[in-house]
Amino acid sequence: MAYNGDNKKLLDGLKNGLESAYEELFMTYYAQLVVFANKILGDEDLSREMVQDVFVMFYEKREVLNIHTSLKSHLYQTVRNRCLNEIKRNQIRREHHAGIFIDKKNEEAYFADKLQETELEARIFAIVESLPKKCKRIFEMSRFDGMSNQQIADELELSKRTVETQISKALKILREHLKDYVPAVIFFILWLLGR
């Protein structure tokens, strides 16, 4: 059956499941719809896929098709909507993947920082363990037990000046052994000095 551009006949043929109507629709509009979709998507393969989906949908819903504009306008509008939905889906997917990537990077950075912090703490405690006995005891009382220099001096029956000298000696040894950890050391030295 020849439709000769008669949209009503073509639409009636589609609704009645006439293969010739579907074939006419495809032959008339497929190529131009792919070009149209490609202008929106910039991806020829994806454009073909979108247009094919529209034709499949037309075939599947042929019995309930309710077109208020021209068939051509309806096809173009449907393809346009499909393309815009695809762009939105891709954008959401990209944002989601970017979010996961950022979360993963932040998580990795967090665990790397924690690992470095743990290693540094272990190194500090190892250095403190290696201090001369008297120096070690005074330093631990000051920094780990939170005692003031005067309290330590009173408890160990030493002069306050001796306590200060021993703490300074311990800090100098720590700084020397931790010079490779400069950024992290600044934090820990401030922590040690501030206690």
Domains 7-94 and 131-193 agree in fold: no
Q: Give the residue among 41, 100, 157 at the shortest CA–CA distance from 49.
A: 41
**pLDDT tens across 19-61, in order?**
887 788 788 888 888 888 888 888 888 889 988 988 888 788 7
CATH for 131-193 (1.10.3470, 3.90.1280, 1.20.272, 1.10.10)? 1.10.10
Say if CB 108 and CB 114 are below 8 A apart.
no
Summary mean pLDDT of the chain: 78
Domain 7-94 has CATH 1.20.1260.10: no
Eight-class DSSP state of 66? -
In sequence order, which ranges of the chain are alpha helices (DSSP H)?
Answer: 7-15, 19-41, 44-60, 71-130, 133-143, 149-156, 160-177, 182-193
Q: Where are the domains of the chain?
A: 7-94, 131-193
